A = this chain, B = another copy of it.
Amino acid sequence: MTTARVTPPRRGRPGYDLESLLAVVVKVFNEQGYEATSMEDLSRRLGITKSAIYHHVSGKDELLRLAVDRALDGLSEAARETAALEGRAIDRLEHLVRRSVHVLVERLPFVTLLLRVRGNTEAERRALARRREFDHLVGELVRQAEAEGDVRPDVDPAVASRLLFGLVNSLTEWYKPRGGLDADALAETVCKIAFDGLRRPSVPPGDPTT
């Protein structure tokens, strides 16, 4: 059998607490897909028996629930924080985007898994329902910002909401935590592009500030 990472294991088995177990499980789910992963696969990758896994959880469904809740709890916290803010909707929306980028960076494998959930099991449907609550909040903020005259008039708010989070969620496809770019810089770039666009703003003729 395999050995533990730091402390000498009992009976040659690696010891897992729920967090370190989930870290491996979410990696396997992301690599193989949740549906295609069996408890047998998890047992092999963890280097512990299936009954040792059942010591922590009731089964694969609970593992998924715990994993996607890591992502969803982060996003809910960002949403709650945003809901408590005052001021214009466009600024609250920007706050939510910024905080969401932080959640993605800090909980990348969990959010990656969440975004791949398709809704075939109870745990998946529950995750999708929680995700929809979040999307609803985003949609509401975009609509409010539009009503307050802060969204450009030539975009459909519903499409804009989708694109905004498409942009944020795309991080799970390419962001490498050790790539050198920190969460603050990334959140700043995401917000610049999403809210102000990639194109350099045209300078009014004779503007002395540039």
Contact = CB atoms under 8 A, between A and B. Distances in A.
Interface in A14-73: 32-33, 35-36
Copies of this chain, whole number: 2
Interface string A171-205: 10110000001000110111011111111110010
Given A166-B171, A170-B169, A171-B166, A159 B199 contact: no
A36 B185 CA distance: 38
Nearest to A185: B156
Interface in A128-166: 142, 149-156, 159-160, 162-166
A114 interface: no
Contacts of A127: none
Point out which of A142, A153, A190 has the most chain B C-beta atoms below 10 A from its C-beta.
A190
Interface of A: 32-33, 35-36, 90, 115, 142, 149-156, 159-160, 162-167, 169-171, 173-174, 181, 185-186, 188-190, 192-201, 204
